[in-house]
């Protein structure tokens, strides 16, 4: 089973603004919030957050 990541979610919610522009301030900000809340909830933080979204064309 394929594990979903934050980049796919960002693409669905706000893809035209945050995705496809490499790592940009909006995407980095969203990833920062993801890491913050994951830490508060003791959830694992996957590697390469946002890579899927940043690499979209």
pLDDT at site 25: 85
For the chain, how far is it from start to end, CA to CA, in angstroms?
25
Instruction: Tell the residue number behind the tokens 């899927």, with chain if given.
Output: 52
In the predicted model, what is the mean pLDDT of residues 9-34? 81
pLDDT at site 51: 74
pLDDT at site 1: 44
Backbone φ and ψ of 48, nearest 5°: 55, 45
The residue that leads in pLDDT, 20 or 36, is 36
């Amino acid at each position: 089973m394929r594990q979903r990541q934050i980049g796919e979610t960002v693409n669905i919610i706000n893809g035209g603004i945050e995705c496809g522009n490499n790592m940009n301030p909006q995407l980095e900000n969203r990833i920062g919030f993801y890491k913050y809340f994951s830490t508060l909830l003791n959830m694992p933080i996957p590697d390469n957050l946002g890579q899927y979204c940043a690499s979209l064309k």
